[in-house]
Copies of this chain bind each other. A is one copy, B any other.
Amino acid sequence: MKKYLVGVDIGGTNMRVSIASQEKIIIKVVQKTKLEGDEHTVPNQVVSLIDIACQRAEVQKEEILALGVGTIGPFKKRNGFLYVVTANICGALAKERDVIPNNWKEIPLQKDLSEHYGNLRFDNDCVAAVNAERIFGAGQHKDNFVYVTISTGVGGGIVQDGKIIRGKNANAGHIGHIYIAEDGPQCGCGNYGDFEVLCSGLAIARDYGSKTAEEAFVAYRNKEDKAIKVIQRAARNIGRGLASVNAILDTELFIIGGGVFMNNKDILLPLIKEEFYRSFPTLSEEVEIIPSPLEDYLGDIGAFSLVIPKDWIEHWKNIKPWTTAPKPIKLN
């Protein structure tokens, strides 16, 4: 009997697989994303990681109801399948790396996985996240909201007029690549002065001159001038980026997550709001901006939410299986 959901969360650094029954998340495994080999390396790794998780949890492949995949993007469509364009998966700033360990241009992720799993739903990780917020989080009962991650990079997923929007290649929500400044540093995507290159964790570290954004936030808390300047500018530009997204969408709510934001929301949220509400009042004044209530769990729930059967939803709202999930098993 088909009774398990598989959730897959594919990032440029790590890949995570979780399996859930209607009652609980029964296993989580995590492995570094493999970047060497041919263009089937990543899909093959997903398949083998699912196999390992199934074995350890004593789940038969025939018992898998559906597979939800939230993955790093962006995508191109080829013969109806979404291929992952690999700039991000090999490090957003690939050109600054000494070596890219492969010659991938596009990974046939959806195509390869659909050969193994019939019931497959495949989306950008931030689209999976906004879907989780829609079903289980801050987006319940809202028709218009945007999930935004401020992390190593900047990304987003959009619910508009009651539906997730996707666009021609399922790339809607790539808010990290809207322009914010007329000039500015070059983003991994090629743009100069976009949201990501001005506001991401990498950007804050670069502007402060540290290895991680966290060092800049520590210095900010110690009232160090340079850190204050760098973080105020980043936060101001986040506020302006959200105002641009809102001018296009007329949304109700921004739900912000991502490690850089969540670890420093006491600093960032007031600064972001200050700038956001300074923009065109008629458009901005009815919009809410809040931290994601589900952030720590979005990798899991995002992927599961793409395939969860309708009759599981109310039960999951009650038992919140993500809060009782086992610790992830790290695989080499």
Contact (A179, B249) CB under 8 Å given A160-B165, A167-B160: no
> What are the residues of chain B within 8 A of A282 when measuring CB–CB?
74, 76, 85, 87, 171, 189
Contact with B along A260-282 (1 / 0, CB 8 A): 00000000000000000011111
Q: How far is the CA of A322 from the CA of B165 in the complex (A)?
A: 33
Q: Is the CB of A172 within 8 A of B76?
A: no
| Identical copies in the complex | 2
For chain A, give the interface size range: 35 or more
> What are the residues of chain B within 8 A of A194 when measuring CB–CB?
247
> What are the residues of chain B within 8 A of A178 when measuring CB–CB?
178, 243-244, 247-248
Q: How far is the CA of A282 from the CA of B170 in the complex (A)?
A: 12
Contact with B along A138-179 (1 / 0, CB 8 A): 000001100000000000101011010111111111111111
Q: A interface vs B, CB < 8 Å?
A: 74, 76, 85, 87, 143-144, 156, 158, 160-161, 163, 165-182, 187, 189-191, 194, 237, 240-241, 243-245, 247-252, 278-283, 286
Query: With A175-B247, A190-B279 given, can you name 16 additional A-B contacts, CB distance below 8 Å?
Result: A74-B282, A87-B282, A161-B165, A161-B166, A165-B249, A167-B251, A170-B250, A171-B250, A172-B250, A174-B247, A177-B243, A179-B180, A179-B244, A182-B182, A187-B280, A190-B280
